[in-house]
Amino acid sequence: MSKPLLMGILNVTPDSFSDGGLYLTPSDAIDAALRMVDEGADIIDVGGESTRPGSLGVEAEEELWRVLPVVKGLAGHGLRVSIDTSKAVVAGAALKAGAEIVNDVTALGDPDMAPVCAAAGCTVCLMHMKGSPRTMQQDPTYEAVVSEVRSFLLDSAGWAESQGIEREKIWIDPGIGFGKTDTHNLELIRHLGFLVSSGYPVLLGVSRKGFIGRLTGGAAVDDRLEGTLAIQAWAQIKGVSIIRTHDVRSARRTIDIVAAVQAAG
């Protein structure tokens, strides 16, 4: 069984919930990314706009100013770069600067995003989110969260294919914490195999998220490693293809141990 790819999170923002304000110069961000690669990251996911609950977003010009020097620098080092954006203009510029993946929390909500990605021939990650970052945690409700999220993602993937994005370049992400209660998050994690059975590579991002803090007695953002790794190990056993994390070294070790157990005998 192949190991999941490991995606290191690099937010060049002042307000992301965990690493906001840490990498506000291109040189600091590039150094951090190179450390993540040394620790075992396969992909660096560069984001210039916070999508934490309640965030208001930024204009495209500001987002471009934040991400483009970093993307160019990382691509120049030969790294595999993902751009975490919902704006087609940002995605297009980042792809020209050397990014290979577009990680879109709105699942191609920008009407220009699908044509940009199709023309570039890049990999696209489609995420489920109920509402917007500003509103998504205001009493999210579902009748059957697992089937509803799966249906949305498969419909989005089918639409992406109809727009010229190749099936083998489509990833799906259930959007843990994006318009979900703690119970919804746990149900989706429990049934990750149902998403994996769709045939699309599944990306899971749970790193340091709020529900892990609540499940571990109110642990602060920087004290959620054990909970994060437990869920990442579960996801790997269930067949998830990409794990997105802040804590690359620990996640790499966890991946390698789980893979060794899976390969034994």
Please state the domain extents for the chain.
Answer: 5-263
Active site includes 244?
Answer: yes
- Catalytic pick from 209, 224, 238, 252? 209
CATH superfamily of 5-263: Dihydropteroate synthase-like (3.20.20.20)
pLDDT tens-digit series, residues 179-236: 999 999 999 999 999 999 999 999 999 999 999 999 999 999 999 999 999 999 999 9
Query: Can you read off the two tokens belonging to residue 162?
Result: 């109809």
Geometric angle at alpha carbon 22, from 86 and 17, rounded to 5°: 55
Query: Can you read off the two tokens belonging to residue 6?
Result: 């490991």
Contact, 193 vs 239, CB < 8 A? Answer: yes
Q: Given this model, what pLDDT does residue 18 score?
A: 47
- Catalytic pick from 80, 224, 244, 252? 244
Q: Is 138 helix (H, G, I), strand (E, B) or coil?
A: coil
Q: How far apart are CA 64 and CA 85, in angstroms?
A: 10
pLDDT tens-digit series, residues 87-101: 999 999 999 999 999
- Rounded alpha-carbon distances, angstroms, from residue 131 to 106, 138, 175, 182: 9, 9, 12, 17
pLDDT band at 25 (very low <50, low <70, confident <90, very high): confident
pLDDT tens-digit series, residues 102-154: 999 999 999 999 999 999 999 999 999 987 666 656 777 899 999 999 999 99
**Against a cut of 0.85, is the pTM above it?**
yes
Active site includes 209?
Answer: yes
Which residues have CB under 8 Å from 122's CB, separation 6+? 95, 99, 100, 101, 102, 169
